[in-house]
Structure 1
Amino acid sequence: MINRENAIELSELMNNRTTTDPTFIIEMDSRKICDVNETVISGCDNYNPIGKDIDNIVYIEKNIGSALSPAFFNGQWFNLQQETLIWEGSPHIKISLQQRVGIPDFDTLHSLKKMIGFLLHRLRSPLTGIQGYLGIIEERTEDESNTKHLEKVNKGIEQLFDLLDDLESLQEISLKTVERNNYSANPETIIDEIISSYPDKVQDHITFTLPANPHLLRCSPGDLKRILSVLIDNAIEHAPVNEDNQITIELPSANAVKVSHNGNPIPKSIAQQLFFPFVTGKATKLGIGLTMAMLYAKRYKGSIFLTDNSPFRGVSFTFCLPPSLSSPTFL
C-alpha cells in the first residue's frame, strides 16, 4: 500500500527534464506511459511513447536478481530503478534508467586495445631472445642445481608468454557490432558441452535448469560459448568444490543466461570495476576474463550484469541479449 504522506506530485518529478537518465512515469495497474523526460523523447526518435505500454518501449529483464533489473532502451543497457507515487489520486510508478558505472565505454576499450597491441609488440621479442639464450646456457651447464634454477626461470618465462597470449586474445576481439539476426545458438547444447569438460567432482556441484520452452539465442555459438565459459569458470573458481558450495545455471528468460554460486560475495571495491581488465588480486592472472566476455556480449548489443552479490543470495552474473522485436526502441 502506498504511503500518501510520502507521495510526490507527477509535475514536480518531471519539471526537471535535464537529467540524462531516461525517465518515465507510468500508471501502476495498466503500465501505460503518462510522461517522459527529454532523454526519452530523443531516444524514441520521433516515436511518441505517451499512452503506450512501457513494456513495448523498454525491455526489462524481470525477476533476475536482487541487486538490480537490467533494462534495454535505445540500443543501450541500463540499471532500472523505480519508486511509487500518487498522482491525481491514483498510483503511479517513476522508472529511471540509470547509466551503468564500472563499464568501459567504446573510447576506453579502443585505447586499451591499442595499448595492449603496443605492449605485445615490445615484450614478445626480448622474451623470445632471453628464452633462446637460456637454452644455450642449459646445454652448457652440467651442474644439477644450476639446471634446476634454469628450469624455474624457463617456467617463469612460459608463464609470461601465457599472460601475453591472454592479452593478445583480448586485443583481437573486434569492437564492431554484428547483425544478430544472422546468428542463433542453442544454449542447452553449449552449456552441456561446457559442463562436460569439467571433472566429475565439479559437475556434481553444477545444476543446469532448463525452462519448459527453451529458446535459441541471437548470438554465434562460438561467442556464446566464450561468454558462458568465462561466467562458469568464474563461478567454479569462487565456489571451490565442497559439500556446501553449489553452482546454478538457468535461462530466466528467452534472452538471458544466469550463472550463480553460493560462494563469498564480491567486495564492493572490486565489484565496481569488475568489467575493467587487471582487476584481480592473483599474481598469476590478469583479471581479463569478464572484460573479454563483456566485449563479446557488446558485439551483439548484449551485456553482462552482476545481478546478485550478497551472503544470503550468493553471487550471480547474467548475460542479457536484447529482444528481437520490431519496435525502433528495441533495435
Structure 2
Amino acid sequence: MKLRIYLLIASGVSTSIILLTLFICYRYMLLNWKDVVLLTTVTLGAASVSMLIHYFMTRPLEKAIHAITEETTHISEGHFEGQVPQIGPAEFQRLADQFNRMTGKLNESFQKLRTAEASRKELVANVSHDLRTPMASIQAFVEALQDDVIQDKETFARYLQTIRLETGRLDGLIQELFKLSQLDAGGTEFVPERYHVDHLLLDGLQSLAFQLEEKQLQVDVDMPDRLPPVAIMPQEMKRVLSNILDNAIRHSPVGGTIEIKVEQISEQYVQLDIQDHGQGIDEEDSSKIFDRFYRADPSRTRASGGAGLGLAIAKSIVHLHGGTIGVDSHTGEEEHGSRFWFTLPIY
C-alpha cells in the first residue's frame, strides 16, 4: 500500500472517531440535534480540506521515494551511474544526498574490481607466455641432447649453457612474481633501519658494474657533502635502485652517460633522480610504465626486455616506505631521455 493511501486512511479514521464522539454525545443527550448536525458538517468539511491538503503535500514524498526505488533497481542490475534528485522535505533531500554518495562509492569500488579482474587476466596471460617461452626452449634442447643429435662437444656445451640461461630466466621470473605477490598481500613487514644514501648508491652501482662496462657508460653522481641518513630496508631499496639503473642501462646508447642526482627536498624526504639519454618514453606510456608486465616498446623481446615486473616491484617497495616514485621523459629531437625519481623518508 502506498504512503499517500496510508495517510489518507489515517485522516479518515480520525474523522470517523470525531463523528462517533458527536453521535455518542447526541445519544446521551449532551448535545441537541442541531448542534450535532452543525458540528458534523464542520467536521466533514475540515476533514475534506485536510485530506485534499494531505493528497497534494504527499506528492513530493511519493516522488522522492519513487526515485530512490528506481535507482535501487538500477543498482541491483549493476548500473551505478544514476543520481537521485534531491526533492521533497529536507530529510528526504539528505537521504537522497547520502544515497548518491553511496552510489558513487559503489561505482568506484566496482570499477576497481573490474580493473583488477582485467589486470588479473592480463597477468595470467603474460605469465603463461613468459613461462612457456623458456620452457619450450629448454624442452627442445633437452630432447636434442637425449636423442644424441649433438655429437661435437662445443655444440653440446653451448646447448647446456642455453639450458642454464633459460633456467635462470625462469627462476628470475618466479622470484619476481613471488616478490610482487608478497608486496601486494602485505606480507612484507616494514622494518626500517638507519642507512646512508651514498652506501646505497655504491652497492647499486657495484652490482651493475659489468653491464656499465659492457656498454661503456659513464655515471655522473651529483650529491651534497652532507645528507641526513634515511629510514629504509636496505635490501629492498637496493632492488629498487638496481631495477631503475638496469632500465637506464638498457636504454642508454653505447658510450653514453647516466646522471644520478641526490637532494633533500624537505624535512621528511630525500629524492634520487636517475637520468638516461636514451629514446625516452612517450607521454601515453609514462602513466603505465609502472604497471606489471607493461613494456613501452612492444617490439622488444622478452629476452632483452625482461619480464616487465621490475618497475612494478620498485613502485610497491617505494610505497611501502611511504615514498613516491615517478618518471619524466622527453622524446623530442633536441632533448630526449627518461628521468626516474623516487623519494626516501629521512631517519
TM-score normalised to structure 2 length: 0.49
Aligned-pair identity in percent equals 18
Aligned with 2:275: secondary structure?
strand
Instruction: Decide whether the 8 Å contact of 1:205 with 1:246 is kept in 2.
Output: yes
Instruction: Decide whether the 8 Å contact of 2:323 with 2:345 is kept in 1.
Output: yes
Residue 160 to residue 271, structure 1, CA distance change in 2 (3 Å): farther
Given the alignment, which residue of 262, 274, 277 partners 1:251?
A: 262
1:171 shift after superposition: 1.2
Indicate the residue corresponding to 1:219 in structure 2: 232
Residue 222 to residue 240, structure 1, CA distance change in 2 (3 Å): same
Structure 2: 5+ residue stretches without partners: 1-114
Residue 172 to residue 303, structure 1, CA distance change in 2 (3 Å): farther
Partner AA of 2:224 in structure 1: P
1:165 shift after superposition: 2.1
> Residues 190-234 of structure 1: CA distance to partner in whole angstroms, max 9, x if unpaired?
211222341575686111121242122222111111101111122
Number of aligned positions between the proteins: 215
Instruction: Decide whether the 8 Å contact of 1:178 with 1:300 is kept in 2.
Output: no
Given the alignment, which residue of 297, 301, 313 partners 1:292?
A: 313
Residue 238 to residue 288, structure 1, CA distance change in 2 (3 Å): same
Report whether the alignment pairs 1:319 with 2:342.
yes
Instruction: Decide whether the 8 Å contact of 2:134 with 2:166 is kept in 1.
Output: no
- What is the CA–CA distance in structure 2 between the aligned matches of 1:111 and 1:193, rounded to whole Å? 37
Aligned with 1:213: secondary structure?
coil
Report whether the alignment pairs 1:230 with 2:236.
no
Partner AA of 1:205 in structure 2: Q
- What is the CA–CA distance in structure 1 between the aligned matches of 2:190 and 2:218, rounded to whole Å? 33
TM alignment of 1:1-331, pairs within 5 A = 132-138=142-148, 141=149, 143-144=151-152, 148=155, 157-173=163-179, 174-175=182-183, 176=186, 180=190, 182-197=192-207, 198-199=209-210, 201=213, 205-242=218-255, 245-253=256-264, 254-276=269-291, 277-279=293-295, 280=297, 281-283=299-301, 284=303, 285=305, 286-311=307-332, 312=335, 314-321=337-344
- What is the CA–CA distance in structure 1 between the aligned matches of 2:242 and 2:341, rounded to whole Å? 13
> Residues 85-114 of structure 1: CA distance to partner in whole angstroms, max 9, x if unpaired?
xxxxxxxxxxxxxxxxxxxx8877777777
Residue 178 to residue 216, structure 1, CA distance change in 2 (3 Å): farther
1:188 shift after superposition: 0.5
- What is the CA–CA distance in structure 1 between the aligned matches of 2:328 and 2:140, rounded to whole Å? 45
Instruction: Decide whether the 8 Å contact of 1:307 with 1:315 is kept in 2.
Output: yes
Residue 106 to residue 209, structure 1, CA distance change in 2 (3 Å): farther
Aligned with 1:282: secondary structure?
coil
Instruction: Decide whether the 8 Å contact of 2:259 with 2:275 is kept in 1.
Output: yes
Deviates more, 1:213-222 or 1:125-134: 125-134
> Residues 258-294 of structure 1: CA distance to partner in whole angstroms, max 9, x if unpaired?
1112332212343342112141432113333212222
The structure in which a higher percent of residues are helix is: 2
> Residues 31-71 of structure 1: CA distance to partner in whole angstroms, max 9, x if unpaired?
xxxxxxxxxxxxxxxxxxxxxxxxxxxxxxxxxxxxxxxxx
- What is the CA–CA distance in structure 2 between the aligned matches of 1:292 and 1:232, rounded to whole Å? 14
* Aligned residues: CA RMSD: 4.0
Instruction: Decide whether the 8 Å contact of 2:279 with 2:336 is kept in 1.
Output: no
Aligned with 2:300: secondary structure?
coil
